[in-house]
């Protein structure tokens, strides 16, 4: 039975020409290999028509922000709901009228308002870290009345719009006759 060599204290493989280890040579030539791969990819056209080609790099030369990556992630992925409760409620309060206007049924408007008021009341009775809660609950009946008025205005505007468009557009011309060529007597 042949005796196995002890591999616990192996010496690095040396290059006969330079006397240095092969790993050290590979590391030194890595930059050349990367440059070569880039040149080949450019010749194949793999960098042609990339998104953003010919456009300036966004925020180049701006002051360094250590949280730039998280801000870009939030923007790119459209992440919402990461605000403290007080700020999220302020934002929701500012957008509430537009949200209500997307509904056409009064029952849905009341449901949205009651959910919003429940969130405000829950936040009032919950200890909050961060900015103070200044958002007040909405009066459901008053908000429903304002929603009805806005709905009536939109319907009136929609009813008047087709009449105004008909007055502006001229009457279409009748289609022209097309000439057809035919051979007679052949």
Residue 146 CA to residue 149 CA, distance in Å, equals 5
Q: Where is pLDDT greater, at 57 or 146?
A: 146
DSSP labels, 33-95: HHHHHHHHHHHHTTTTT-TTTTSPPTTTTSPP-TTHHHHHHHHHHT--S-S-HHHHHHHHHHH
Q: pLDDT at residue 121 above 70?
A: yes
Domain assignment of residue 44, yes or no: no
Domain assignment of residue 117, yes or no: yes
Domain assignment of residue 158, yes or no: yes
65-79, 149-163, 171-185: least confidently modelled range? 171-185
What is the number of structural domains in the chain?
1
What residues are paired with 33 via a beta bridge?
none
Domain assignment of residue 121, yes or no: yes
Q: pLDDT at residue 23 above 80?
A: no
Total Cβ atoms within 10 A of residue 109: 21
Percentage with pLDDT > 90 across the chain: 33
Percentage with pLDDT > 70 across the chain: 76
Domain assignment of residue 118, yes or no: yes
Residue 123 CA to residue 116 CA, distance in Å, equals 11
Domain assignment of residue 62, yes or no: no
Domain assignment of residue 127, yes or no: yes
Domain assignment of residue 138, yes or no: yes
- pTM for this one? 0.48
Q: What local confidence, expressed as pLDDT, does residue 181 receive?
A: 66
Residue 162 is part of which domain span?
Answer: 71-166
**pLDDT single digits (tens) 42-100:** 999 998 888 888 888 777 777 888 888 888 888 888 887 678 888 889 989 999 999 99
DSSP labels, 99-165: HHHT---HHHHHHHHHHHHHHHHHHHTS--SSSPP-PPPP-HHHHHHHHHHHHHHHHHHHHHHHHHH
Instruction: Name the burial class of residue 103, with classes exposed (0-12), middle (13-18) and buried (19+) by CB atoms within 10 angstroms of its CB.
Output: middle
């Amino acid at each position: 039975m042949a005796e196995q060599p002890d591999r616990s204290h192996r010496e690095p493989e040396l290059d006969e020409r330079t006397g240095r280890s092969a790993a050290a040579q590979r590391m030194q030539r890595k930059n050349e290999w990367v440059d070569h791969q880039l040149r080949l990819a450019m010749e194949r056209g793999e960098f042609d028509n990339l998104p953003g080609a010919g456009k300036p790099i966004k925020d180049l030369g701006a002051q360094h922000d250590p949280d730039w990556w998280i801000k870009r992630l939030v923007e790119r992925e459209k992440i919402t709901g990461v605000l403290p409760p007080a700020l999220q409620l302020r934002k929701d309060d500012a957008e509430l009228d537009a949200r209500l206007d997307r509904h056409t049924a009064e029952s849905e408007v009341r449901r949205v308002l009651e959910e919003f008021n429940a969130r405000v009341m829950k936040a009032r009775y919950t200890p909050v870290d961060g900015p103070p809660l200044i958002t007040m609950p909405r009066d459901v009946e008053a908000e429903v009345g304002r929603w009805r008025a806005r709905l009536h205005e939109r319907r009136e505007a929609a009813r008047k719009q087709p009449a105004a468009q008909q007055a502006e557009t001229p009457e279409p011309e009748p289609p022209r006759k097309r000439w057809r060529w035919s051979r007679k007597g052949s």
